[in-house]
Amino acid sequence: MNDKIIDGKEISSQIKSEIKSATEILKSEKGITPGLAFILAGEDPASKVYVRNKGRACSELGFYSVTESLPENVSEIELLKLIDKFNRDDKIHGILVQLPLPSHINERKIIEAIDHKKDVDGFHPLNTGKMMTGEKCFLPCTPYGITELLKRKNIRTDGMNTVVIGRSNIVGKPVANLLLRKEFNSTVTVCHSRTKDIKEVCLTADIIIAAIGKAQFVKKDFIKEGCVIIDVGINRTEDSNAKTGYRMTGDVDFEDCFEKCGMITPVPGGVGPMTIAMLMKNTFDSAKGVIYER
Ligand code: GUN
Question: Is omega for the bond preceding 174 within 30 degrees of 0, making it cis?
Answer: no
Maximum distance among all Cα pairs of the chain, rounded to whole angstroms: 57
Test site for ligand 1: of 49, 97, 98, most ligand atoms within 8 A of the Cβ: 98
Query: How many angstroms separate the alpha carbon of residue 99 from the centre of ligand 1?
Result: 5
Name the residue among 50, 78, 135 with its Cα closest to residue 122.
135
Q: State residue 162 phi and psi, 5-degree precision.
A: -110, 125
**DSSP letter (8 states) at residue 235:** E
CA-based Rg of the chain, rounded to a whole angstrom? 19
pLDDT tens-digit profile of 83-127?
999 999 999 999 999 999 999 999 999 999 999 999 999 999 999
pLDDT at 15: 98
Tell me whether residue 231 is one of the annotated catalytic residues.
no
pLDDT tens-digit profile of 156-187?
999 999 999 999 999 999 999 999 999 999 99
Residues 57 and 276: their CA atoms lie apart, in Å, by 7
pLDDT tens-digit profile of 182-217?
999 999 999 999 999 999 999 999 999 999 999 999
* Full-model pTM: 0.97
- Delineate the domains of the chain, giving CATH numbers in brackets: 31-117 (3.40.50.10860), 141-272 (3.40.50.720)
**Would you say residue 1 has pLDDT above 80?**
no
pLDDT at 221: 98
Residues 114 and 107: their CA atoms lie apart, in Å, by 11
Q: Across all residues in the chain, what is the average pLDDT?
A: 97
Residues 57 and 94: their CA atoms lie apart, in Å, by 14
Q: Which residues of 137-170 are buried (b: 16+ CB within 10 A; e: fewer)?
A: bbbbbbbbbbbbbbeeeebebeebbbbbbbbbeb
pLDDT tens-digit profile of 244-275?
999 999 999 999 999 999 999 999 999 999 99
Predicted confidence band of residue 294 (pLDDT cuts 50, 70, 90): confident
pLDDT at 181: 97
pLDDT at 9: 98
Q: For residue 5, what is the enclosing H or E element?
A: none
Tell me whether residue 98 is one of the annotated catalytic residues.
yes
Tell me whether residue 121 is one of the annotated catalytic residues.
yes
Atom of ligand 1 nearest to the CA of 121: 7
Residues 16 and 22: their CA atoms lie apart, in Å, by 10
How much of the chain, in percent, has pLDDT values that exceed 70? Answer: 100
Query: Quick one: CA dihedral 268, 57, 44, 275, positive or negative?
Result: negative
The reply to whether ligand 1 has any atom less than 6 angstroms from the CB of 121 is yes
Residues 69 and 34: their CA atoms lie apart, in Å, by 21
